[in-house]
Structure 1
Amino acid sequence: MIGKLKGTIDEIGDDHVVIDVHGVGYVAYCSARTLGKLGSAGEAAVLFIETYVREDQLRLFGFLSALEREWFRLLQSVQGVGAKVALAVLSVLTPGELANAIALQDKTSISRAPGVGPKVAVRIVTELKNKAPAFAGDAAAGIGFKQELGEGAVPAPVADAVSALTNLGYSRDQAANAISAALRNGGEGADSAKLIRLGLRELSQ
């Protein structure tokens, strides 16, 4: 099994990269986000690899971080999600953004990925909501609050404040982050109007 490749970029295609490791070119299929962050031909690159072995093929999937690879595995535990759909999801959302979207039950963000319809998005949110916090990475700090928000377990003023900010055009994730910070900075017990003011102040910084 191949777990990691360290070499030189030989070429980058629409859905894959060829990494030259001591004269051997390995084809690794990657998300659009990963391909966009790799350098150009001739530059050094390191990819975490998931190896798929089938009767008729051996395929490598490449990721910039071990966390992204874990999400690739995790997504495929959901019924109806294969490697192609998992890569599509990781093309539009970082691991942290995906963890937040699941915690917030934000099916719209997940369904932005090509090939992910409403039913699949619902399954991803439902089946992974209890696993997302462990794979939140740099988004771990606020994941508990977002889970409560997604499940409707926060006080009404908090939910109203988040809703107001999303109505102003902010994403649900941005609004949740702002209101979470507002609560920490003296907003405990505040009404929705005060939370909105504090939240907007956070967003303007």
Structure 2
Amino acid sequence: MIGRLKGIILEKQAPDLLIDVNGVGYELQAPISTLAVLGRTGSEAVLYTHLAIREDAHQLYGFSDKAQRTLFRTLIKVSGVGPKLALAILSGMDANAFALCVHNEDVTALTKLPGVGKKTAERLIVEMRDRLTEWQAPAPLWAAVDQAEKASLDAVLREAEAALIALGYKPQDAAKMLNKVSSQADTPEELIRLALKNTLGQ
């Protein structure tokens, strides 16, 4: 089992990462919250990982801290929630906000997450309520965003839009979300964060 990686960021395009660890390139997927606190391409990164093994593929997921990985592992134990949906949940809502929604039984807020309908939201609340009592919430995950090199606004918007579509939003909805915040940030990760925050009302 691969539990932790320390290496150089070779590629970073949400939700995908390529990390060079002593000459070996590891492909990972990570939530937007993790990508937001990583450095730029060429910098060192430390990620706590989870390896999902299926008959047709092995997929590695990366997280900025152990608490986030623990929440991911707890989420995928919920009936009907696989790694893809768990990643979308952690991308669309930070861990502390998610825990608050569960404790407050806030179905409306949870259904704003891509891929989460009313039944799934209700199931998350029922099955996660007791499990979250043993989970220690991490510090806010949107702090200390490392600014990447300035890129053209069009390229930044395209990358941010592709990431939102990968999370389950329709292309036209992703475009509308980004148009509202396009003048407020210079990096794809920050644009995505602002777009999600604006949409979810956090």
Normalized against structure 1, the TM-score is what? 0.64
Whole-angstrom distance in 1 between the partners of 2:34 and 2:111: 19
Which structure ranks higher in relative contact order (CA pairs < 8 Å, sequence separation ≥ 6)? 2
TM superposition shift of 1:33: 1.7
- Higher-Rg structure is 1
Alignment of 1:12-161 (within 5 A): 12-138=12-138
Contact persistence 1:48–1:65 (CA under 8 A): yes
**Which is richer in helix?**
1
Contact persistence 2:50–2:69 (CA under 8 A): yes
Aligned residues between the structures = 140
TM superposition shift of 1:111: 1.9
Q: In structure 1, give the amino acid aligned to 2:108.
A: T
The equivalent residue for 2:145 is none
Deviations 1:31-58 (A, max 9, x none): 1221222111001101100011222221
The equivalent residue for 1:194 is none
TM superposition shift of 1:138: 4.9
Q: In structure 1, give the amino acid aligned to 2:81.
A: V
Contact persistence 1:31–1:88 (CA under 8 A): yes
Q: In structure 1, give the amino acid aligned to 2:134.
A: A
Q: Name the Cα RMSD after superposition.
A: 1.6
- The gaps in structure 2 that reach 5 residues or longer are 140-201
SS in 2 for 1:74: helix
SS in 2 for 1:59: strand
Whole-angstrom distance in 2 between the partners of 1:69 and 1:138: 11
Q: In structure 2, give the amino acid aligned to 1:114.
A: P
SS in 2 for 1:129: helix
Normalized against structure 2, the TM-score is what? 0.65
TM superposition shift of 1:94: 2.1
- The gaps in structure 1 that reach 5 residues or longer are 140-173, 175-205
The equivalent residue for 1:9 is 9
Contact persistence 1:80–1:120 (CA under 8 A): yes
Decide whether aligned partners of structure 1 residues 138 and 38 sit closer, same or farther in structure 2, where only a CA change above 3 A counts. closer
Contact persistence 1:99–1:135 (CA under 8 A): no
Q: In structure 2, give the amino acid aligned to 1:115.
A: G
Contact persistence 2:52–2:59 (CA under 8 A): yes
Whole-angstrom distance in 2 between the partners of 1:45 and 1:8: 6
